[in-house]
Structure 1
């Protein structure tokens, strides 16, 4: 496969880079995954823009192996199929749609998301196959081979096409495919619901892994977990590719959900 994640020069616009359609896979409960080629990218704030501060610094190079990422955030239907519960606030009469099944599941803590991962692995007879994305995997997917402010480019003028956020949400979540996907075909990376990552939260990237692995442990990282992507409640600055949110792992809120990655080959 072509490695469309090789570093691009500053002079190469994102829109002109080659894109190959990733492979796809659908699992036993209907979750769709896309394969993302491995490669190297710059993680953290782009110094071209005066935003982000220390929490997104220092910008550093990360080299990842290829992985699979779910095309959408985990939906209420998928979560219910496995757990037989739906903790979401925005369901049934709280949304306009006849059915809330295609809305993202929310009001799940990091612990809940991890329990779902473990249950799915057991259900399909796997070991450490499904996982929450690491913070670097998540940012790698959203940057999609570039280093732009948003997954589609630099201008917030296009956000209404890509994101469910404070100016386009009507104060609630929306179906997971209601906006335009990024150029890799991944939906919902911006807004709708925050997405839990595997990593502990640290106040900067000093000593962060350079191989795509999660950053875990240490006194600073014990209390909070990373969440990414913004939500239907947030302003546009939270939707930037490098923006980092964090919460206690036991927090539940109606604007926090998750998506999964596969760190193996489901086609074997």
Structure 2
């Protein structure tokens, strides 16, 4: 890493408007995993992330339902963000009360990228082999179809981008 992901982390020495209210970006999968671990948490699995995004709406593309007309109420994406990162929780939450599952920043999840195992339909674990990790959710730079709950993207775990962040999960 070159440490560039730290530029968006809240720091008392940096005075920027609302920087602490924005998602952390420019963070690799490794750094995200380490940070969550330091808090006694972890990156969510891909299945956990999708459950949090969809709630019980398995047959609907978005966590709030089917109609992309309402996407702007729940997410920041290419057509409504002016491609600028937005503060967290500025849109409506989904039915589980979770904010920002769609848009603003892609989110790292724990799983390696690969085809799904058709025999693991309930809480699949992802492949054991592979170089790339999964990101979910789409970003402020994404078109609406990339914000569907089932959309996934692969990336090298060392990668850092201005529209990729993470959230931590806790085991029950």
TM-score normalised by the shorter chain: which range applies?
0.7 to 0.9
Superposed CA deviations along residues 205-236 of structure 1, whole A, max 9, x for unmatched, are: 13564452632422xxx211000000010000
* Aligned pair partner of 1:256 in 164, 168, 172: 164
* CA shift digits 1:46-96 (9 cap, x unpaired): xxxxxxxxxxxxxxxxxxxxxxxxxxxxxxxxxxxxxxx96245989xxxx
For the residues of structure 1 that align with 2:53 and 2:68, how far apart are their CA atoms?
Answer: 15
Question: Where does structure 2 lack aligned partners over 5 or more consecutive residues?
Answer: none
Distance 1:174 1:210, change over 3 A: same
Provide the residue aligned with 2:65 in structure 1.
153
- Give secondary structure in 2 for the equivalent of 1:168: helix
Q: State the alpha-carbon separation in 2 of the partners of residues 166 and 227 from structure 1.
A: 18
Q: Which has the larger radius of gyration?
A: 1
What is the TM-score when the length of structure 1 is the normalising length? 0.57
Structure 2 counterpart of 1:104, from 4, 18, 23: 23
User: What does residue 75 of structure 2 align with?
Assistant: 163
- TM-score, normalised on structure 2? 0.87
Aligned partner of residue 78 in structure 2, secondary structure: coil
Change (3 A) 1:90 1:165: farther
Q: How many residues align?
A: 164
C-alpha contact 1:209 1:215 (8 A) present in aligned 2: no
Q: What do residues 144-196 of structure 1 show as CA deviations (whole Å, max 9, x unaligned)? A: 11121111111110111111100111221111011010011100000000010
Aligned 1:223-242 pairs, distance under 5 A: 223-242=131-150
Note closer, same or farther for the CA distance 1:197–1:145 as it changes in structure 2 (3 Å cut): same
- Is 1:194 matched with 2:120? no
Higher relative contact order by CA 8 Å / sep ≥ 6: 1 or 2? 2
User: Equivalent residue of 1:261, what SS?
Assistant: coil
Query: Using the alignment, how far apart are the partners of 1:86 and 1:245 within structure 2?
Result: 20
Query: Which ranges in structure 1 are unaligned for 5 or more consecutive residues?
Result: 1-84, 122-129
Q: 1:180 to 1:246 in 2, by over 3 A?
A: same
Aligned partner of residue 245 in structure 1, secondary structure:
strand
More strand by share: 1
